[in-house]
Every structure is written in C-alpha cells, then in structure tokens.
Amino acid sequence: MSRDAALSYLEPLENRTRNVAVLDALAEMVERAGLTIGDRLPPEVSLAASLGVGRSTIREALNRWEGLGIIKRRRGDGTYLSARVQTSRGLVPTMVRLEGEALLRLIEIRRTLENDVVRKATLKATPKQRSEIARLCTALLSEVNSGRPWRKTDHAFHNAIYDASGNPMYGQILTNLDHALDRGEISPFNRDAFGLESFPIHRDLADAIVAEDAERAVDAINRILDTVEAEVRAIIADGKLL
C-alpha cells in the first residue's frame, strides 16, 4: 500500500487540541494501513489536512514518536517507521503501550552497558569510592522507605558506580539514553511508584561492589533490570499503575 493510500484511514478530529487523539489516530493509521518498519509516512501537511489539525500539532506528535525511537526523519526525504506500532484494544492507552515498548528497548541496551560498567566498577573502585557508593545506597533506601523524593539520590548512586568504572563515557552514554526517551508528563513510567520494587536489590549491588565481588554485582544489576522490565510488561499488559 502506498503512503498516500494510508491517508484514507484518517478522519478529521473533533477536538483539535487533543494531542493524545492525534497520536492515537496516527497509530491506528499505521496499523490499519499495514505500514511496517522501513515504510515512509505520508507528509506532515497531508497528515494535518486529513486530521483537520495544524501542522504544528502533527509535528509535535511526530516529535514524541521520534523521542521514543518509533520514527526516523531523513532530511529532504521524509519520515520512516523504525519500530513496530500496535494500537491498544484493552484498558491500556496506545501511547502508554508505545512508551512501554520503547522503554523495553532501552532496557535491552542498558543491560549490556550496565553489566560491563558494574563489573569494571567492582574491580576498579577505590576504597573511598566504595564507601561513597555504600553511603549513597543507604541514603537512597532511606528516602524510598520514607516516601520522600528519591530520583536525585538514585541518579547520584548510579553515577558513583559509573565514576568508579574509570571510564566517564559510561555515565554520559547511559544518562543520554535515559534522557533521550520521551515520556509524557502523566506517563505511568514517570511516577514515583514506578520501579520501587527494584530498590531493595540496590543494597545487594552496593554490598557486592564494596566486597569486590564482580559476579554478585553483575547478578544484582541484572535482577534490578529484570524487576523493572517485569513492571513495564505488567503496565502495558494490564494497566498496572494507570
């Protein structure tokens, strides 16, 4: 099916300010038109006209998709699908599903990097760095258990591990990966409750690094990622945290 034929699956939206409706409509267009990875989307101006919205609204929606790794833009050529798009038929909104699937792709990349950085940190950390990692872990768990904001301390804890690896590029790459994933303001993946089940394992990770036990440290970081991955899958499957 041609990209222009895909436009026949779009209808003007009644509420022109509903960005979520635009994203849902685009996802349904992709699915109903049978567009797959590598296919080019219709031009922004055609999408805007078919939905009855401004071009800026379409551009904003596509920016979201680009931030989730769903599309790639090629200057002077067009916009191409780079990930599978499937609409939701149950309780979970389509954009939550797409965010969750993007997060699963990110976790897959993080796992490879985190395994290496944790191993190196365990073997190379100085006594001072091991002490700081332990201190930050205690502070992190205290904030989590008391219900206080924990993200800043969580970042500090992981950054201390990245620094201990002896290669500052690890921290830069992993931080940039996390920031590159565009999550909506009301996304369940942005809520403080998301990922809480993984925090007790952070103590195992810190203790293994302090004990200079690389195998235990790698096992701990994988269990942390396994827990987060399972939570993402639960959200996109049955709406947990919605």
Q: E strands within the chain?
A: 71-74, 78-81
Q: Show the domain range for 37.
A: 5-81
Whose CA is closest to 8, among 35, 27, 33, 45?
A: 33
Say if CB 117 and CB 161 are below 8 A apart: yes
Tell me what pLDDT residue 16 has.
41
- Indicate whether 224 pLDDT > 80: yes
**Sign of the alpha-carbon torsion through 67, 233, 121, 147:** positive
List, for residues 61-118, the tens digit of each pLDDT value.
Answer: 999 899 889 999 998 889 999 999 988 776 788 888 899 999 999 999 999 999 999 9
- What pLDDT is stored for residue 17 in this prediction? 45
Between 178 and 90, name the one with better pLDDT: 178
Give the domain-ending residue among 81, 103, 131: 81
Q: How far apart are CA 10 and CA 30, in angstroms?
A: 10
Domain count along the chain: 2
In a domain, 161, yes or no: yes
pLDDT at 112: 95
Let me know whether 167 and 210 are in one domain. yes
Percent of the chain, pLDDT > 70? 91
Q: pLDDT at position 12, please? A: 64
Write the pLDDT tens digit of every residue in 20-66. 889 889 999 999 999 999 999 999 999 999 999 999 999 999 998 99
On whether both 126 and 14 belong to a single domain, the answer is no
The pLDDT tens digits of the residues spanning 116-161 come to: 999 999 999 999 999 999 999 999 999 999 999 999 999 999 999 9
Q: Which of 172, 33, 62, 241 is nearest to 54 (CA)?
A: 62
Total-model pTM: 0.81
